[in-house]
Amino acid sequence: MLNLPIYLDNNATTPMDPRVLEAMLPYFIENFGNAASRNHAFGWKAEEAVDYAREQIASLINADSKEIIITSGATESNNLALKGVFEMYAEKGNHFITVETEHKAILDTCKHLEKLGAEVTYLQAAEDGLITVEQVAAAIKPNTVLVTVMYANNEIGVIQPIKEITALCKSKGILFHTDATQAVGKIKVDVIADGIDMMSFSGHKMYGPKGVGVLYVRRKNPRVKVTAQMDGGGHERGMRSGTLNVPSIVGLGKACELCRLEMDVDTARISKMRDRLEQELLVIEESYINGNTEHRLPHVSNMSFKYVEGEGLIMGVKNIAVSSGSACTSASLEPSYVLKALGLDDELAHSSLRFGLSRFTTDEEIDYAINHVKEAVNKLREMSPLWEMFKEGIDLKTIQWAEH
């Protein structure tokens, strides 16, 4: 039985796995202690649960549990990493390198740091969304302290050449941070093999609770330090004070464990469904996949449908929860800055849909989505004079539109 609307916006957030909720429940009412209360059994029990969760989190990314700093989510982790490095390594330099297509949590933090005297180079991604290690190398200066490049893009799913970039950074003694929110739990991310110094990710993108995340901070080769952005009782190795959110941390631990155990099976099934969705939708004339299709996440597809008005498209597929090519961070109708950075014009960026599949997505839902999108696109084109002109072979770029 198909329940409408269907949810295909799993890059925005995922539903919580029932097994995660089950693990969390005892820590709300029975085991409610403060993990920092060292004098009695309630505190010990909470601390024990947090320590176990840290191990579950660490084993998903091949880290040491002592390298896991708990935060309120990836946005806070990104802020802590960038601002913390800017302050801690001020004597070494003030130059950061990042990419134009990063998440706003990185871009806006960089803008903030620029006001405080940081110098930031924003690399331009190619039309397929990728950057090269040569671009990073060319941007490095004597005062470069940090390179931050997202592991996989939230809008188009492309996976950056992280290993090559970290090898370069290591050879120059530069720290490397990655926002891996979309990647962790979906593909194998190994901080040792990948040579990552700091990494941010979040619980709610991997079937865990909202409001909890991680900043992985490497402890040796090199030992990385960041200045705390929140002061208090010196929790989290002095990097992030505040009473720990025990139920959510337990949930994040369980979510990480499930991803570690089930990722391969999930990926095989989800990528097959995603490919089927794309093949069926590419049958529609003038439809395109945005971003590199070889180096990308298994569950994401971003597609544009030419000669379709963006707002109409979102209204037309109202029974499917998907994300549109308008900026996801606001109610504005600005076209997505990520798609613009790839060179798409405003119209094409507006007429794009991002599909994000999950371990709960069914074949039946994909069938429905295929038919629903086909129907919406065809209907909108029937009403579009631009489509009519295109079909008549008129080159729309040559038309002079009258001012009104």
Q: Does residue 169 have an active-site annotation?
A: no
6-11+263-393 has which fold?
A: Aspartate Aminotransferase, domain 1 (3.90.1150)
CATH 3.90.1150.10 placement within the chain: 6-11+263-393
18-259 CATH fold: Aspartate Aminotransferase; domain 2 (3.40.640)
* Residue range(s) in the chain whose domain bears CATH number 3.40.640.10: 18-259
Q: Note the pLDDT tens digit of each residue in 290-326.
A: 999 999 999 999 999 999 988 899 999 999 999 988 6
**For the segment 9-41, what is each residue's pLDDT rounded down to a tens digit?**
999 999 999 999 999 999 999 999 999 999 999
pTM, rounded to two decimals: 0.95
For residue 285, give both structure tokens.
């004339």
State the pLDDT at residue 332.
Answer: 58
Catalytic residue among 110, 256, 259, 328: 328
Percentage of the chain surpassing pLDDT 90?
A: 90
Position 325 scores a pLDDT of 80
The per-residue pLDDT for range 324-353, each reduced to its tens digit, is: 886 444 455 678 999 999 999 988 999 999
Q: pLDDT by residue (tens digit) across 179-195?
A: 999 999 999 999 999 99
